[in-house]
């Protein structure tokens, strides 16, 4: 088997990005005829026409669409591997990083993260944007640098992930609520009026399944799409809300929290990013900052709960 000409990857990447032989030729500083010959070689190598005539232009075949992102990533990784290593001067670094997060992350980790960055790299700015869905496209196209969340079946398979902390669900009520006194039993918990947090408008969750096994059912008074909204409602009413403990720490200020009387599975909050940023020194540094802040915050929270 002959060794493939890896230079064709660069040509294919540009052709798929431009969708035009003439534009690709200009970008690579080749003559149109040379680019046409390169396209012919690519067609022979891949066994696919890749770009086909449609009116006065060219359109990619399904195989070309399948290859486009993969080839682009390969070229970027090759360029990064061949680029001379540079020592990053964090004091001179001027860059904006975008983090897509759910509410609660900034309130609990934002201050420590910003302070750490200001000390090490004062020219770096963070832009926090709300995570409304799990679409991985913004990470792929570079619109965002990071996102936090729970890794699931709908997470892009190529994304890099790093666990930040584990979390459990707890019950929360306003100060002075009847559940502030004594042990919260499954019966007492189910007897109250509840707020369900669901971004997708689901009517039930794992807590309801656990109660059902005990022959109990809680009454859902309202469904909201965010932890902050749910906690604001609970703070001003007799409603009960169940939320992740560590992710909502500062959002629950001046409220009463209690262990849920039914078993629920813990969740792991992770940091996600696209693999093309693996070798970027500034990106790698910020990943470390986020991990360290979440770890330190986790340790401090655990210590407070151990003390009582």
* Residue 83, in any domain of the structure: no
Of 25, 48, 78, the last residue of a domain is: 78
How many distinct structural domains can be found in the chain? Answer: 3
Q: How confident is the model at residue 215 (pLDDT cuts 50, 70, 90)?
A: very high
Q: Assess whether 160 and 274 both reside in one domain.
A: yes
Question: Residue 298: what pLDDT?
Answer: 55
Question: Residue 133: what pLDDT?
Answer: 77
Of 27, 56, 78, the last residue of a domain is: 78
Cα 119 to Cα 91: distance, rounded to the nearest angstrom? 9
Nearest C-alpha neighbor of 261 from the set 185, 171, 181, 169? 185
Burial class of residue 56, CB neighbours in 10 A (0-12, 13-18, 19+): exposed
Q: How confident is the model at residue 2 (pLDDT cuts 50, 70, 90)?
A: low
pTM: 0.64
Q: Assess whether 42 and 73 both reside in one domain.
A: yes
Mode of pairing for the β-strands spanning 169-174 and 255-259: antiparallel
Q: Assess whether 255 and 274 both reside in one domain.
A: no
Domain encompassing residue 124: 91-165+270-307
pLDDT in tens, 72-81: 888 888 877 7
Q: Assess whether 159 and 287 both reside in one domain.
A: yes
Question: Residue 297: what pLDDT?
Answer: 62
* Residue 1, in any domain of the structure: no
pLDDT in tens, 118-171: 999 999 999 999 887 777 888 888 889 999 988 887 787 888 999 999 999 999
More confident residue, 68 or 273: 273
Which DSSP category does 108 fall into? I
Question: Residue 307: what pLDDT?
Answer: 29
Cα 46 to Cα 40: distance, rounded to the nearest angstrom? 10
Mode of pairing for the β-strands spanning 146-149 and 95-101: parallel
């Amino acid at each position: 088997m002959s060794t493939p000409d890896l230079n064709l990857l660069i040509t294919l990447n540009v052709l798929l990005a431009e969708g035009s032989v003439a534009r690709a030729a200009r970008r690579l500083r080749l003559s149109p005829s040379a680019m046409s010959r390169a396209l012919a070689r690519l067609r022979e190598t891949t066994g696919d026409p890749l770009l086909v005539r449609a009116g006065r232009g060219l359109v990619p075949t399904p195989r070309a669409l399948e290859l486009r992102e993969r080839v682009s990533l390969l070229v970027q990784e090759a360029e990064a591997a061949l680029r001379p290593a540079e020592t990053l001067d964090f004091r001179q670094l001027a860059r904006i990083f975008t983090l897509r997060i759910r509410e609660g992350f900034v309130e609990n980790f934002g201050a420590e993260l910003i302070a750490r960055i200001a000390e090490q790299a004062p020219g770096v700015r963070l832009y926090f944007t709300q995570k409304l869905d799990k679409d991985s496209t913004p990470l792929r196209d570079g619109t965002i640098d990071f996102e936090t969340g729970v890794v699931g079946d709908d997470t892009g398979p190529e994304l890099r992930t790093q666990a930040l902390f584990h979390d459990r669900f707890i019950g929360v009520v306003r100060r002075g609520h009847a559940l502030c006194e004594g042990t919260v039993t499954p019966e007492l918990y189910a007897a109250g009026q509840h707020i369900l947090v669901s971004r997708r408008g689901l009517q039930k969750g794992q807590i309801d399944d656990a109660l059902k096994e005990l022959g109990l059912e809680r009454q859902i008074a309202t469904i909201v799409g965010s932890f902050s909204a749910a906690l604001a409602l609970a703070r001003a009413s007799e409603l009960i809300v169940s939320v992740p403990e560590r992710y909502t720490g500062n959002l629950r200020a001046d409220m009463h929290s209690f262990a849920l009387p039914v078993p629920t599975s813990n969740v792991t909050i992770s940091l996600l990013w696209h693999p093309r940023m693996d070798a970027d020194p500034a990106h790698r540094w910020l990943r470390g900052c986020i991990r360290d802040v979440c770890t330190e915050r986790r340790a401090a929270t655990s210590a407070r709960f151990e003390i009582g």
